[in-house]
Every structure is written in C-alpha cells, then in structure tokens.
Amino acid sequence: MNLANDDDLIAIDQSFKSGILKQMYHNVSQLKKNAFLIWQLVKVNVTSTYKRSFIGLSWMVITPLLAVVAWVLLQGAGIMDPGDTAIPYPAYVLLSTSIWSFFLGAYQASSKVLVEGGRLMITIRFPHVVLIAEKVLVHMISFVIPFAINLIVLLLYGIPFTAWSVLFPLTLIPLLFVGVGLGLLVSLMRVVAVDLAMLVDKMVGFLMFLTPVIYAPKVSLPILATVVSYNPLTYLIGFSRDLLTAGTFFSPMTYLWVSLGSVLFLGFGFWAFTKFERKLVERMINV
C-alpha cells in the first residue's frame, strides 16, 4: 500500500484551506447581492413569530427573567453555592445566561436550516446561504431586545460601565461563530443521523452546567474545575462578561486563541454545509 509523502499531505492541506477561503469569499459576495431578500425574510420571520401571541415581543423579556428567578431562588435557599461572582448574583446570572443564550440561539437557528428550509431550497433557485443569514439575523434581533434588560439591571445594582464596555458586542462574534459552525454541522446530521443530532442537542444543553454561567469561574470541585478550564466557552463567555461589568480581560491570550479557532471552525462548518447540503436536501425530499 502506498502512503502519501509529506509533499502530498501539504498539497492536500493547502487545497483544503484554499477551498474554504474561496467558499467563504463566495458566501460573502452572495450575501451582499441578496441583502434585500434577507431583510424581507427577517421581517416576515420576526412578525410571524410573535403576532399570534397576546403579549407578543414581551416574551423576549419574560423568558430570561423567569429563568433568573429560578436560579436566584436556588442560590437564596442555599441549594447551590455559585462562589465569588464579583457582582451581585442576580445580575451575574442574568448577564451570563443571556450571553449563553446568544451562543445557544445561534446553534439552534443554524442547526435547523435544512429541516425547515429544505423544500424551499428545492423549489426555488437562490443562494442557500441566504437562509443561514436570515436565521442568524432573527436570532440576533431576539437577543438585542431582552439584553436591554441586562443593562438596566446592571445599572440598578450600581455596576459602572467603562470605556471598554462599548467593545462588548464585538466580543460576542467568536461565540456566534462557534454556535453557527456547530449548528451547520448538526443541520447535516438531522438528515442522515437524526438520533446523533438529538444527542448533540442534549449535550449542548448540558454544556451550560459545565460552563461558568450560573456559577463563578473558580470552582472548588477538582473534576469540574478541570472541565471548566478546558472548556473554550469558559473563555468566550467570561471575557465578554468581565469586559462589560469590570472593564477587565478574562484570560486574554486564551480568548484570542479560542477566537482564532472559532473562525476556522465556522469556515469548516460552511465548507461542509455547502459541500453536502444539496444532496441531503434531495434525499430528504425523496424520502
């Protein structure tokens, strides 16, 4: 059996990287050309989601507040000890769960692109990256509205904002990349391996308990401390949270490396999605 030599492996690696870069450039150009279509899809999605609800967009505010009340009650009853959170626990858990929901929402939205848009992809010719952009933008709009409550709560607790706080939205970009990249890979699984996709959904949900969201980054349990230290979301969420509330940088070098990895991960997710999505959509329609 002939094994590939080093030159062959380097050529394959360069070809793979070149393919990802070309695909990302093509996707960006398609998004620019179809900006109007994306915006129309976003408006339809947002309005249709809440117009049948009696309280409408208020659900965006009510849902995170109810979640925070539950965690605060557990902490107040002594059932859980979150550790030293630096800021009052209600503000900490509200902000942390909001940042977590930004990641989780990006994952959930992108992971359902094929299942929810498969027939549209088959019947109408258009760049399928448009649907991904529409899902992500709707998710970001759904995040911005309740996040305003976070700012109000932080101010009520006397937590001052610094000049660094204006960079907070930019620090969320790597978190978005990880969520979308993972979601695109799982969107393919939902067609060929439904059980595996459901397992990943459960694992992502459980991942919140292995990330400093409802407790401080420093934990006393050795096993959990090890898991937290190797969890990339620890640094993505912690960096954003500390920048906004204290103007400090949580593990900046690790955050930079994880952010670089998020770009590569997103590129891989787009590459895999664009390579296999049409065949999988046709298979899904023919089943």
pLDDT 10s digits, 87-104 = 888 888 888 988 999 999
Q: What is the three-state SS of 196-217?
A: HHHHHHHHHHHHHHHCCCCCCC
Quick one: how far is CA 27 from the chain centroid? Answer: 19
User: How much is the average pLDDT of 6-16?
Assistant: 43
Q: List pLDDT tens digits, range 123-181.
A: 666 677 788 888 888 888 888 877 887 788 888 888 888 889 899 999 999 999 999 99
User: How much is the average pLDDT of 4-20?
Assistant: 46
What's residue 184's pLDDT?
Answer: 93
Q: Rounded CA gap, 61 and 258, in Å?
A: 30
Contact 82, 95 (CB under 8 A): no
Sorted by where each begins, the domain ranges of the chain are 28-286
Nearest to 89, CA basis, from 60, 69, 62, 66: 69
Sequence-separated contacts (24+) of 146-152 with Cβ below 8 Å: 146/60, 146/61, 146/63, 146/64, 146/98, 147/98, 149/61, 149/64, 149/65, 149/94, 150/94, 150/95, 150/98
Degrees to nearest 5, angle at CA 37 with 34 and 39? 110
Any alpha helices (H) in 77-193, and if so which ranges? 89-111, 113-123, 129-156, 168-171, 173-192
Q: List pLDDT tens digits, range 259-287.
A: 999 999 998 998 888 888 877 777 766 65
Sign of CA dihedral 116, 122, 124, 125: positive
DSSP 52: T
Q: List pLDDT tens digits, range 33-83.
A: 777 777 877 777 777 766 655 555 555 666 666 666 665 665 565 556 667
What's residue 270's pLDDT?
Answer: 86
What's residue 200's pLDDT?
Answer: 94
For the cut 80, the answer to whether the pLDDT of residue 214 exceeds it is yes
Sequence-separated contacts (24+) of 22-31 with Cβ below 8 Å: 23/267, 23/270, 23/271, 23/274, 24/267, 24/270, 27/127, 27/129, 27/270, 27/274, 30/127, 30/129, 30/130, 31/127, 31/129, 31/130, 31/133
Task: Name the residue type at position 209.
Answer: F
Q: Rounded CA gap, 138 and 133, in Å?
A: 9
Q: pTM of this prediction? A: 0.80
Q: Rounded CA gap, 36 and 58, in Å?
A: 27
The H-or-E segment that residue 245 falls in is helix 232-246
